[in-house]
Amino acid sequence: MSRTSPPETPQRLDNGLLVIIFMLLSFGIVMQFSASYAIYPDAPYRFITRHLVFLVLGLVLMFLLMQVDYQILQKWAIPIMGTALVFLIFTFFYAKTGVGGARRQLFNGSVQSSELAKLAIFIYIAAWLATKEKTLDQVTLGLLPFSVLLGIFIAAIILQPDISTSVLIALTAIAMLIIAGADMSQIAIMLGVMAIVFAFAIFQHNYALERVTEFQQSFIAPWNSPDDQVRSGYEALHTGGLFGKGLGNSTYKLPGSGLSVVHSDSIFAVVGEELGLWGALSVIAGFLFLAYRGTSIALAAKDSFGRLLAFGITTWIVLQAFINIAVVTVSIPNTGIPLPFISYGGSSLVTIMAGLGILLNISKEGHSRFSFYANHSLRRRNRRSRLSRSNRRRSS
């Protein structure tokens, strides 16, 4: 009997992921200009120019992170986490006060600390979970320290206040915990505690409570919503019909139409109005394909850190997209979370591109092994990750 090893294959990036990234980025450029040129008629290129600047910065960062071995991030997870936490605290004390008393933006709104903190948090969580997979069932070694670590970050973001981003981070972190192999009863406890915490935070901030109250009135009859943005977003999608009014022909994006932050939070409404149902569904299909490629990369990763980080990055980006879409379709309360790739650029776009650079880096070594030699399972085996992988070699 002789043992044979999988053939060595050259490292290559996930081409499917690359294609969907550049398709969404290109679509985002077109829709960003279409949505923003009328905001300031005397300066039609104001937003698209800045969007392109941040896009270039994001592409450069993505390329650099594609070249550096992602495992280095595991060694630097603690300094990365510490830097992000210090930046969150600095922003809370020194940022200018904005709408609703929020203190979350620096440099005239170009940098939002909670956006930059997302990737740092997921890197640290992946590194921590990768070393704790065998002890996650133990409350004192698994659930408790994880809750404390996550709670520190969430508290720092809620204080800004930025409740919607903290919810996004919490849901992504719990998804990573599930994949790492945590006991589902512990997950249920965490979800219950988090629901109480976020409900308390909402009642402590008038702007958040107002959004929830308005959503209750808008959900049944969005065309009669007391929130102009919700009502206008619904009407824009409705009037778009099956094929839309045509690129550039949106009327709800015009100043005074009621559709505020049209180039950012509400841009999906412009997509639906100008390109119709088919255009909106195409965007959704794009994010679903990104989810498929990201999950495939996670399954094929060569180590636990890579699997967890790839899954975390994928969950974060796709979940953020569907939260934004759910707001525009009046499925959840208004959150203020931008649509990845398409909403006006800034720290959100740069951070997402950085995350995708890491995801592409992880894809380099695992793609062929996933296709031919790896045996993956979403079921938990011997206290391993739910994305555990058997590396048993074939014998002949």
* Residue pLDDT, tens place only, 211-256: 777 777 777 777 777 777 788 888 888 898 899 999 988 888 888 7
pTM of this structure = 0.85
Residue 4 inside a domain? The answer is: no
Position 228 scores a pLDDT of: 77
Compute the distance between CA of residue 326 and CA of residue 330 in angstroms, rounded to an integer.
6
Residue 365 inside a domain? The answer is: yes
Confidence band (pLDDT; 50, 70, 90) for 151? confident
Tokens of 155: 């508290």
Tokens 């009669």 identify what position? Answer: 224
Higher pLDDT, 57 or 136: 57
Confidence band (pLDDT; 50, 70, 90) for 371? very low
Candidates 299, 284, 348; CA nearest to 275 is: 284
Mean per-residue pLDDT over the chain, rounded: 81
Distance, first Cα to last Cα, the chain: 6
Mean pLDDT on 271-278 = 94
Position 123 scores a pLDDT of: 94
Confidence band (pLDDT; 50, 70, 90) for 296? very high
Compute the distance between CA of residue 30 and CA of residue 52 in angstroms, rounded to an integer.
11
Segments forming the whole domain that contains residue 230: 15-390
Contact between residue 85 and residue 152 where contact means Cβ atoms under 8 Å apart: yes
Confidence band (pLDDT; 50, 70, 90) for 141? low
Higher pLDDT, 347 or 19: 19
Percent of the chain with pLDDT over 90: 37
Helix (H, G, I), strand (E, B), or coil: what is residue 24? helix
Residue 156 inside a domain? The answer is: yes
Residue 280 clears pLDDT 90, i.e. is over it? yes
Percent of the chain with pLDDT over 70: 82
Position 293 scores a pLDDT of: 96
Residue 91 inside a domain? The answer is: yes
Within the chain, residue ranges assigned H as helices are: 15-36, 46-67, 71-75, 77-94, 113-130, 143-158, 163-180, 184-204, 206-218, 228-240, 267-300, 304-328, 347-372
Q: If phi over 0 gives left and psi between -120 and 50 gives alpha, with beta otherwise, what is residue 340?
A: beta
Higher pLDDT, 245 or 155: 245
Confidence band (pLDDT; 50, 70, 90) for 354? very high
Residue 396 inside a domain? The answer is: no
- Rounded to 5 degrees, what are φ and ψ at 90? -60, -45
Residue 122 clears pLDDT 80, i.e. is over it? yes
Relative to beta strand 389-390, strand 105-106 is unpaired
Residue 112 clears pLDDT 80, i.e. is over it? no
Mean pLDDT on 175-181 = 88
Residue 6 inside a domain? The answer is: no
Sequence-separated (6 or more) residues with CB below 8 Å from residue 119: 313, 351, 354, 355, 358
Residue 233 inside a domain? The answer is: yes
Question: What's the Cα-to-Cα distance from 394 to each of 1, 184, 294, 376, 377, rounded to whole Å?
Answer: 10, 34, 27, 15, 18
Confidence band (pLDDT; 50, 70, 90) for 309? very high
Compute the distance between CA of residue 25 and CA of residue 340 in angstroms, rounded to an integer.
9
Higher pLDDT, 217 or 104: 217
Number of domains in the chain: 1
Compute the distance between CA of residue 198 and CA of residue 161 in angstroms, rounded to an integer.
12
* Digit-coded pLDDT (tens) for 334-350: 887 899 999 987 888 99
Mean pLDDT on 361-379 = 55
Candidates 147, 90, 150, 85; CA nearest to 117 is: 85
Mean pLDDT on 1-15 = 60
Candidates 379, 378, 373; CA nearest to 391 is: 373
DSSP at 132: T
Residue 2 inside a domain? The answer is: no
Residue 170 clears pLDDT 60, i.e. is over it? yes
Question: What's the Cα-to-Cα distance from 93 to each of 52, 96, 296, 357, rounded to whole Å?
Answer: 30, 9, 41, 31
